[in-house]
Amino acid sequence: MVALSININKIALLRNSRSGNFPDLLHYARQCIAYGADGITVHPRPDQRHIRADDIPALKSMLENFPAVEFNIEGNPFTTQCGSYPGFMALVEQSRPTQCTLVPDSDAQLTSDHGFDLKRDAGRLRPVVAQLQAWGCRVSLFMDPDCEQISLAKSIGADRIELYTGPYAEACLHGDVSSINTELQKHAVASSHASALGLGVNAGHDLNLDNLPALVNALPDLSEVSIGHALTVDALYHGLAPTITAYKKTLSS
């Protein structure tokens, strides 16, 4: 079955809109785990608009009580210290998550919107990958469904890729059948290529209950999806437990 890692950034964003600690991230993460989450994902950014640096140690400590649940930290490995944000690599060194998903986002981006260009960035990413692995982290690179780029991900030592599913989700949103089929085919070819190279395959970005079934069916090698925004919105309408149950059912079908 495909693992479900729940991104809790949106809960942190809600908390940050007021003083205090409500909603409580640790309580929410524990509830996600109780209802079936296989992992907890966070994406700390230098502006700390949602997950903050001081959330990471508390989450890590809490997750030690759930050894089967993976902790996934996403982010740009080249972000440096900014105020109370110590830089991505410093955060990871302190917390040693199960998985690091490296993403080429800039400080100004609202959300991640493209994969790495490894023709440009392979040289500086290679030692980063090695360092993260030395700290005991599995390394996944956020990638477009491009086989040439995925081959480069393998060549610099990555353990997995996370396929950027934004264009596929956008096609689904507009009901563009031709574009949906094109995007699914690109992701299927990329996933098969990654698997043949020995890379694990994750996927993420704007995935939801409507577009997940076709993607899961098209990617038999898929190991994990990371979902936050849509799952959080669905939980507002339907409740957290039924929502996680629905996602888990979709991923197991």
Q: What does the alpha-carbon distance between residue 218 and residue 241 come to, in Å, rounded to a whole number?
A: 27
Instruction: Pick the catalytic residue from 74, 162, 183, 224.
Output: 74
Has 187 been annotated as catalytic?
no
Which position has the token pair 């409500």? 22
Report which DSSP code applies to 144: -
As a whole number of angstroms, the distance between CA 208 and CA 239 comes to 15
Judge whether 43 counts as a catalytic residue: yes
Burial (CB < 10 A; 0-12, 13-18, 19+), residue 135, is middle
Of the residues 50, 187, 193, 205, only one is catalytic, namely 205
Angstrom distance (rounded) from CA 171 to CA 162: 19
Q: Annotated catalytic, 205?
A: yes
Q: CB atoms < 10 A from the CB of 126, how many? A: 15
DSSP code, position 6? E
Catalytic residue, chosen from 43, 50, 187, 193, is: 43
Catalytic residue numbers, as ranges: 43, 74, 205
